[in-house]
Structure 1
Amino acid sequence: MTTIAVTGHMDLTEDSVPLVRNALDVLLKQYADHGELVGVSCIAKGADSLFAEAVLAAGGRLSVVIPSQDYRQNKVKPDHAALFDRLVQAAEEVLVLPHETANRHAYEAANAELIERADRLVAVWNGDPPSGKGGGTADTVLEAQAAGIPVDVVWPDGAARVD
């Protein structure tokens, strides 16, 4: 069994979505073909949800980590709500962290949970350094590397973030 967690940008351009999804499908197929695949995701808009969909499409099991008690109500925008709810329903496990509100501490705790569970980390990441706010994609990559977890960076040619 291979457990792969994800971190990545939420603000992918519309044109980037199919590029990233295809790259995730190709990457995850090799793990699904060699045994049981478990994907761990916070299922936020963008990279997290694309990864979760790719895990399910590859025949893997999905484990969801929700950063806070109020996350669905206060952080999931209407344009992402249906997909978020569908992924929660498809998940084999849903862990809601005890934080009351979605904030930097909740996101950092969620990232720590991802890293603790992961054999590998997939980072849908353009390579930019940490922003200094904490809890972002680059921070999670650095934490995984410090913990000795291999990181697969997915950033296909043509991928971009919304300005």
Structure 2
Amino acid sequence: MTSIGITGHINISAGTVPLVDRAVRDLLAVVAPDELVGYSCLAAGADAIFAHAVLDLGGRLVALLPSADYREAKVAPEYRASFEQLIAAAAEVRVMPFSRASGDAYAAANDALLAAVDVVLAVWDGRPDRARGGTAEMVEKARSAGKRIHVLWPPGSTRT
């Protein structure tokens, strides 16, 4: 089994979506479908692109939701249908023990993801951020934990 987790930006531009999708699929394609297990918190943007790719390639998706209210509190109406599709298709859905979405809940979900995976895929522009549980923090934690990490930010990619 090859377990791969995703961290990445939510706010990638519309023109960046196909670039990231292609890069993610190219990386995942080297893993046999019956060996692929993808872990995602199912946020919009990079997490969703990765989750759809895992499923499309025949892998198993494990969803790690940061809090009990994540769907209601953080899933935007324009992303709701895709989110529900991913939840329904996930082989497993784990909810962190937080009633409300928060930086602590995101950090806990990231920690759970990091503990479960062999490889971390980061869709990251390389810039630091101050958000607890954000992409830059997750990349640093993955590096500190000695995880294999692939940072993807295809040429021409931008954030909104």
TM-score, normalising length from structure 1?
Answer: 0.96
User: Which runs of structure 1 show a deviation greater than 4 angstroms over 4 or more consecutive aligned residues?
Assistant: none
Q: Which residues in structure 2 correspond to 1:40-119 (within 5 Å)?
A: 40-119=39-118
Q: Deviations over 1:134-155 (max 9, x none)?
A: 2110100110111110100111
Cα RMSD, aligned residues only:
1.0
Distance 1:157 1:58 in 2: 24
Q: Deviations over 1:21-50 (max 9, x none)?
A: 0111101001236x6000000010000000
* Partner of residue 22, structure 1: 22
Counterpart code for 1:125: W
Instruction: Give identity over the alignment, percent.
Output: 47
Counterpart code for 1:18: P
Counterpart code for 1:90: A
* Partner of residue 6, structure 1: 6
Distance 1:133 1:8 in 2: 12
**Aligned pair partner of 1:138 in 129, 136, 139:** 136
* DSSP 3-state at the match of 2:28: helix
* Partner of residue 157, structure 1: 155
TM-score, normalising length from structure 2?
Answer: 0.97
| Residue ranges of structure 1 left out of the alignment (5+ in a row) | none
